[in-house]
């Protein structure tokens, strides 16, 4: 690698230093909604409507065990920066989603967190693939998933989200 190339890698690594992930707990429930309902996140994910408080709490109550096991808060410099979570869809497959607060975006944290999560999720017994739905206008998200080894499965028609999949090889770590 050239000196310029290795400097770029070092700078990237520095920016994601001091990042951590911890399993979602009760104290994070309202935070998940706050991040998901952020204007920028909703726009980039395809003009999603806001999630109401009751709807959010019901979702939490119905899925509490799965959420606590498979959803994580992303931390940067000990500050909550967003979340990454997995929702079960069929046996063997689950859907991943990630959202960072605006201040934490564009510094490599999304890619770093996605790679970490895939490694972590590879240890879930019976999980064969992880899918992601990405708005076709969301070029940063498309780059993030592609960079973490997700493959675009369907083109879909204009207006539809893109489907990305990553097959797990059953080898944790």
- Binding residues (CB under 6 A) for ligand COA: these are 41, 44-45, 82, 97-100, 105-111, 132, 134, 138-141, 143-144, 147
Whichever of 86 and 132 has its CB closer to ligand COA, that residue is 132
SS3 27: helix
Whichever of 29 and 87 has its CB closer to ligand COA, that residue is 87
In angstroms, give the least distance from the CB of 100 to ligand COA.
Answer: 4
Do 60 and 26 form a contact (C-beta atoms < 8 A)? no
In angstroms, give the least distance from the CB of 69 to ligand COA.
Answer: 20
In angstroms, give the least distance from the CB of 152 to ligand COA.
Answer: 13
SS3 168: coil
Task: Provide the residue count of the chain.
Answer: 173
Whichever of 14 and 172 has its CB closer to ligand COA, that residue is 14
CA distances from 170 to 97, 110, 143, 161, 166 (A): 21, 23, 24, 28, 12
Whichever of 72 and 110 has its CB closer to ligand COA, that residue is 110
**Which residue of the chain is nearest ligand COA when measured via CB?**
110
Least Cα distance to 150 among 99, 110, 123 occurs for: 110
In angstroms, give the least distance from the CB of 147 to ligand COA.
Answer: 4
| C-alpha–C-alpha distance, residues 87 and 126, integer Å | 14
């Amino acid at each position: 690698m050239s000196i310029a190339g290795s400097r770029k890698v070092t700078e990237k690594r520095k920016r994601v230093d001091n990042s951590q992930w911890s399993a979602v707990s009760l104290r994070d429930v309202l935070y998940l909604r706050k991040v998901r309902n952020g204007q920028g996140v909703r726009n980039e994910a395809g003009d999603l409507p806001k999630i109401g408080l009751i709807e959010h709490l019901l979702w939490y109550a119905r899925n509490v065990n799965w959420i606590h096991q498979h959803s994580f808060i992303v931390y940067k410099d000990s500050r909550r920066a967003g979340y990454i979570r997995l929702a079960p869809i069929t046996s063997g497959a689950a859907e991943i989603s990630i959202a960072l607060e605006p201040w934490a975006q564009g510094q490599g944290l999304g890619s770093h967190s996605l790679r970490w999560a895939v490694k972590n999720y590879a240890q879930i017994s019976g999980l064969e693939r992880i899918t992601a739905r990405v708005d076709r206008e969301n070029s940063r998200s498309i780059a993030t998933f592609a960079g973490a080894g997700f493959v675009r499965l369907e083109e879909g028609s204009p207006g539809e989200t893109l489907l990305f999949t990553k097959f797990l090889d059953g080898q944790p770590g």
